[in-house]
A = this chain, B = another copy of it.
Amino acid sequence: MSYTLSYIVEQLGGELRGPDLAVARLAPLERAGQGEIAFVSSPKFRRQMQESQAEALIVNEALAAELDGRSRIVTADPYLYFARLATLFHPPKALRAGIHPRAVVGEDCRIAASSEIAANATVGDNVVIGERCRIMPGAVVGDGCVIGDDVTLYPNVTVYHGCVIGNRVGVHSGSVIGGDGFGLAWDKDHWFKIPQTGRVVLEDDVEIGANTTVDRGALADTVIRKGAKIDNLVQIAHNVDIGEHTAIAGCVGIAGSTKIGARCTVGGAAMFVGHIEVAARTHIGGGTLVSKTIKEAGTYASSYPLQSMKDWLANAVHVRHLDDFAKRVKQLERELETLKKSKDESHE
């Protein structure tokens, strides 16, 4: 499977400069060779671009000028262009529509004939599954779930009963949608479990990574809104609300009832306490502890960078004494003031 550059431009836009030729694969700039096309996302890779053996390059206008005579596609956003081209080169694998004889499907389900229920998948009772879905091996869909069109549940995903999944949603392997929230009330000498009776709603175009957990709501629902993207090993507690097109990187934890606005980005391993709100278009740095409501969009951080163990041992101990420290500096300021005054007076 190879495409001429002119065919690619016809399909995806952009402008072809230099000779039209065929490419068969995408490759990283520094490794691309014969028959391969690479992209340049930033002028800081100028040197690698000049040295690249790629057959063709995807570049912006500014860099295009430096590639005289070479085959190149010029576009405003080479990274996005590359993403579209990758989709052209790697169309999703065709479905095998139908219920595999080794799948298990419960009673009173409505499953579109165009969808695939794979071997060793399990679908409960009263489940609705739309067109062109893939329920892959080992995936389990609980009773009463409603799933839209073009949804993929990768192998070994679990969706608990009663959850709602929109169109074009992907949930990667091992993720758990709709498990019980961590709701406990102390009862004299033990924890009494609070039944978790809400649902999880994943709206259209949501993607969930691998081994992520999204708990069902306690009373109301946990909601992940249209176009939000969640990475691997993320914990989303009960009644959390994630805004549209918000992207959350791996290892993040979000405690109960926290509401994150639209179009935010959250760096890896950030942690959110419960019952707070984060304004739309807020950006949270990796490893940040989000300990209170953020009303103003902006970029926030809290984590501290590493040092050699020797330096760290010397410094970290003082963090424990900053209050004493603050008092001593205050005291120094006072005494110095006194000294200065007395000196001024003795001069008068």
Supposing A158-B155, A301-B306, A342-B343 touch, asked if A255 and B250 sit within 8 A by C-beta, the answer is yes
A250→B253 contact, CB < 8 A = yes
Copies in the complex: 3
B26→A197 contact, CB < 8 A = yes
Instruction: Give the segment of A3-11, A14-22, A56-64, A176-184 that binds chain B.
Output: A176-184
Nearest CB of B to A264, in Å: 12
Does A134 reach chain B (CB closer than 8 Å)? no
Give chain B residues whose Cβ lies under 8 Å from the Cβ of A154. Answer: 158, 160, 179
- Contacts of A239-265 to chain B: CB distance below 8 A: 245, 247, 249-251, 253, 255
B84→A192 contact, CB < 8 A = yes
The size of the chain A interface, using a CB distance under 8 A, is: 130
Does A83 reach chain B (CB closer than 8 Å)? yes
Give chain B residues whose Cβ lies under 8 Å from the Cβ of A340. Answer: 335, 339
Nearest CB of B to A172, in Å: 5
Contact of A211 among B142, B213, B291, B313 (CB under 8 A): B213
Give complex CA distance A213, B307 in Å: 28
A227→B190 contact, CB < 8 A = yes
B173→A158 contact, CB < 8 A = yes
A268→B249 contact, CB < 8 A = no
- Contacts of A251-309 to chain B: CB distance below 8 A: 251, 253, 255, 268-269, 271, 273, 284-292, 298-309
A269→B268 contact, CB < 8 A = no
A336→B325 contact, CB < 8 A = no
Give complex CA distance A298, B311 in Å: 12
Supposing A192-B84, A329-B332 touch, asked if A309 and B298 sit within 8 A by C-beta, the answer is yes
Give chain B residues whose Cβ lies under 8 Å from the Cβ of A197. Answer: 26, 86, 89-90
Does A24 reach chain B (CB closer than 8 Å)? no
Give chain B residues whose Cβ lies under 8 Å from the Cβ of A122. Answer: 118-120, 137-138, 155
Give chain B residues whose Cβ lies under 8 Å from the Cβ of A298. Answer: 308-309
Contact of A173 among B160, B195, B311, B314 (CB under 8 A): B160
Give complex CA distance A121, B197 in Å: 25
B271→A289 contact, CB < 8 A = no
**Chain B: which residue is nearest A85 at the CB level?**
B195
A140→B137 contact, CB < 8 A = yes
Does A149 reach chain B (CB closer than 8 Å)? no
Contact of A268 among B161, B268, B271 (CB under 8 A): B271
Supposing A158-B174, A232-B213, A336-B335 touch, asked if A79 and B26 sit within 8 A by C-beta, the answer is no
B213→A182 contact, CB < 8 A = no
Instruction: Give the segment of A45-53, A108-116, A315-323 that binds chain B.
Output: A315-323
- Contacts of A192-213 to chain B: CB distance below 8 A: 192-195, 197, 205, 207, 209-213
A182→B232 contact, CB < 8 A = yes
A209→B205 contact, CB < 8 A = no
Given contacts A122-B137, A314-B323, 16 further A-B contacts (CB under 8 A): A83-B193, A83-B194, A83-B195, A137-B140, A138-B140, A174-B213, A213-B250, A232-B237, A237-B250, A255-B268, A273-B286, A292-B306, A302-B303, A305-B320, A328-B333, A335-B336
Query: Can you give 12 contacting A-B residue pairs, CB < 8 Å?
Result: A28-B220, A89-B195, A138-B156, A156-B174, A158-B173, A173-B176, A182-B247, A191-B229, A209-B213, A315-B321, A339-B340, A343-B343
